[in-house]
Amino acid sequence: MLRITGYSDKFSARPGEEISFYVNSEFDEQYQADIVRLIHGDTNPDGPGYKEELIHSNISDMHAGKNQQIYGGSYIFVPNNELFNVNSFTLCAYIYPTTPYVDVEGVEVGEQAILSKWDAENETGYGLFINSDGELCLRIGHGKGKVEEFSTGKPLYRKVWYKIAASFDVNTGKVFVFQTPYVTHTNSGHGMSMLHPQEDTLGSYHGTSLMGGPAVNDCPFLMASSTLKSKSGRYLTGGHFNYLDDPHEIPIHTHKYNGKIERPKIANKALELHEIELLLSCQGIENIPNELKEVVIGAWNFNANITPNAASTKIIDDSLCKMNGCGVNLPVRGVPGFNWSSDYMSFLHGPQEYGAIHFHDESVDDARWDVSFKFKVPESLKSGVYAARLRVNRLTDSENEDYIPFFIRPAKDAKKAKLCLLMATNSYMAYANDNLSVNSAVAQLLTGRVPLIQPNDLLLNEYKGYGLGTYTTYRDGWGVNISSRLRPILNMRPKYIHILSPSLWQLNADLHFVDWLYEMGYDVDIHTDEDLQNEGVELLKQYQVVMTGHHPEYITEQGWHAIHDYQMQGGRFMYNAANGFYWISTLHPDNGNLLEVRKGDNGTRAWTINPGEYCNAFDGKHGGLWRVRGRDMCKILGVSFTSFGLTYSSYYKRSPDSELKECSWMFEGIGYDEPIGDFGLIGDGAAGLELDRYDLEKGTPHRAFALANSEGHNDMFVTVTEDSTFNARGNILNGTGESNPNTRADIVYYKTPNDGAVISFSSMSWLGSLSHNNYENNVSKLMKNVIDGFMKDGPLP
Ligand SMILES: [Fe+2]
Query: Distance from the CA of 73 to the center of ligand 1, in angstroms?
Result: 26
Cis geometry, peptide bond prior to residue 308 (ω within 30 degrees of 0):
yes
The Cα–Cα gap between 218 and 227 comes to 10
pLDDT at residue number 193: 81
Residue 354 lies inside a defined structural domain of this protein: yes
The values of phi and psi at residue 614, to 5°, are -70, -25
Query: Distance from the CA of 580 to the center of ligand 1, in angstroms?
Result: 8
Q: Which domain holds residue 38?
A: 4-67+370-410
Which positions ≥6 away from 642 have C-beta within 8 Å?
691, 692, 693, 695, 719, 720, 723, 742, 743, 744, 745
Query: Distance from the CA of 737 to the center of ligand 1, in angstroms?
Result: 19
pLDDT at residue number 487: 97
181 lies in the same domain as 53: no
Query: Distance from the CA of 756 to the center of ligand 1, in angstroms?
Result: 28
Which residue, of 329, 359, 389, is where some domain finishes?
359
336 lies in the same domain as 392: no
255 lies in the same domain as 323: yes
Query: Distance from the CA of 172 to the center of ligand 1, in angstroms?
Result: 62
Query: Distance from the CA of 702 to the center of ligand 1, in angstroms?
Result: 28
Residue 478 lies inside a defined structural domain of this protein: no
Tens-digit pLDDT profile for residues 475-520: 999 999 999 999 999 999 999 998 888 889 999 999 999 999 999 9
Query: Distance from the CA of 13 to the center of ligand 1, in angstroms?
Result: 26
131 lies in the same domain as 22: no
- Residues in the chain with pLDDT values less than 50: none
Here the CATH number for the domain that contains residue 546 is 3.40.50
The Cα–Cα gap between 314 and 169 comes to 32
Query: Distance from the CA of 399 to the center of ligand 1, in angstroms?
Result: 27
352 lies in the same domain as 274: yes
The Cα–Cα gap between 212 and 191 comes to 41
662 lies in the same domain as 771: yes
399 lies in the same domain as 269: no
Judged by DSSP in three states, 95 sits in strand
Cα separation of the two ends of the chain: 55
Here the CATH number for the domain that contains residue 81 is 2.60.120.200
Query: Distance from the CA of 313 to the center of ligand 1, in angstroms?
Result: 29
pLDDT at residue number 682: 96
Angle at 576 between CA 575 and CA 578, to 5 degrees: 85
Residue 419 lies inside a defined structural domain of this protein: no
pLDDT at residue number 727: 83
Query: Distance from the CA of 420 to the center of ligand 1, in angstroms?
Result: 22
Q: How many domains is the chain partitioned into structurally?
A: 3
Contact between 768 and 516 under an 8 Å Cβ cutoff? The reply is no
Query: Distance from the CA of 471 to the center of ligand 1, in angstroms?
Result: 9
27 lies in the same domain as 119: no
Tens-digit pLDDT profile for residues 260-304: 999 999 999 999 999 999 999 999 998 899 999 999 999 999 999
Which residue, of 339, 359, 379, is where some domain finishes?
359
Query: Distance from the CA of 709 to the center of ligand 1, in angstroms?
Result: 21
* Long-range Cβ pairs for the range 47-52 (8 Å, 24+): 47/681, 47/771, 47/772, 48/515, 48/519, 48/771, 50/494, 50/495, 51/515, 52/387, 52/389, 52/494
Residue 596 lies inside a defined structural domain of this protein: no
Query: Distance from the CA of 442 to the center of ligand 1, in angstroms?
Result: 14
Query: Distance from the CA of 358 to the center of ligand 1, in angstroms?
Result: 26
203 lies in the same domain as 343: yes
Residue 601 lies inside a defined structural domain of this protein: no
Which residue, of 359, 388, 419, is where some domain finishes?
359
Residue 488 lies inside a defined structural domain of this protein: no
Residue 738 lies inside a defined structural domain of this protein: yes
773 lies in the same domain as 674: yes
286 lies in the same domain as 398: no
Contact between 131 and 117 under an 8 Å Cβ cutoff? The reply is no
The Cα–Cα gap between 333 and 348 comes to 12
500 lies in the same domain as 393: no
pLDDT at residue number 440: 79
Here the CATH number for the domain that contains residue 382 is 2.60.40.1930
Residue 108 lies inside a defined structural domain of this protein: yes
Q: Which of 505, 535, 531, 524 is nearest to 574 (CA)?
A: 524
- Taking a 5 Å cut-off on Cβ, the residues next to ion ligand 1 are 553
Query: Distance from the CA of 484 to the center of ligand 1, in angstroms?
Result: 17
Query: Distance from the CA of 499 to the center of ligand 1, in angstroms?
Result: 12
